[in-house]
Amino acid sequence: MADGSGEAVALPASGVTTGLGNGAGGTSAQPSNPLSRKLHKILETRLDNDKEMLEALKALSTFFVENSLRTRRNLRGDIERRSLAINEEFVSIFKEVKEELESINEDVQAMNSCCQDMTSRLQVRIEQVIVAEPGAVLLYKISNLLKFYHHTISGIVGNSATTLLTTIEEMHLLSKKIFFNSLSLHASKLIDKVCLKNAVLKL
């Protein structure tokens, strides 16, 4: 259309809009490139929930302190060297543990030999007492002998020979009980003899 001065005025077309209408341009389109999707997924990942990743990054930060081209190139070699050092340290510690276990095994073998020697000596001593002193005196000596060995062994090996100490303690209590029974029987026989003599004297 022309105005009075003869200049033409351009009017906007009726069908053209000046912006992104209908809300179509307000949202960003999803990336169709696979690499873009992967990057998008990585960016959306929250490391707060990935404890393993956090621990790995903390360990990495102890020796990867400078993010440069040279350090990135040498990162793989540094990780391999650290892994080798950790393996060597593990082998060294495991070797010490092995040596300690071998030492403990030697101590156990020595203790076993000592216990066998003490058991043999105890058996010989009890046999000597049985041959030398029969009756209640014998039971009394055996009871005291077992008590002595129990005290001696517990003072040497402590509670590590629990089975042996328990057996000796049971033998001591049993011999003590038999001793008192034998003593009671012997006393009863003496009383019967005294009563018999009194009856004979009255006649």
Contact (Cβ atoms closer than 8 angstroms) between residue 147 and residue 171: no
Instruction: Please give the pLDDT value at position 21.
Output: 42
Instruction: Please give the pLDDT value at position 202.
Output: 61
Does residue 3 lie within any of the structural domains? Answer: no
Does residue 17 lie within any of the structural domains? Answer: no
Does residue 132 lie within any of the structural domains? Answer: yes
Is the full-model pTM beyond 0.75? no
Instruction: Please give the pLDDT value at position 198.
Output: 61
Does residue 27 lie within any of the structural domains? Answer: no
The maximal CA–CA distance of the chain, rounded, in angstroms, is: 181
Does residue 62 lie within any of the structural domains? Answer: no
Helix axes 162-202, 136-157, angle to 10 degrees: 160
- Alpha-helical segments (H) within the chain: 34-44, 51-61, 69-132, 136-157, 162-202
Mean pLDDT, each 10-residue run in order, the chain (203 residues):
44 41 45 76 68 73 71 75 87 90 87 78 72 69 82 76 77 80 78 67 59
Instruction: Please give the pLDDT value at position 138.
Output: 76
* Residue 2 β-bridge partners: 8
Instruction: Please give the pLDDT value at position 130.
Output: 61
Does residue 180 lie within any of the structural domains? Answer: yes
Instruction: Please give the pLDDT value at position 192.
Output: 74
Instruction: Please give the pLDDT value at position 50.
Output: 67
Does residue 175 lie within any of the structural domains? Answer: yes
Instruction: Please give the pLDDT value at position 12.
Output: 43
Domain ranges, residue 100: 91-190
The total number of structural domains that make up the chain: 1
Instruction: Please give the pLDDT value at position 58.
Output: 75
Does residue 59 lie within any of the structural domains? Answer: no
Name residues whose C-beta falls within 8 Å of residue 178's C-beta, 6 or more positions apart in sequence. Answer: 139
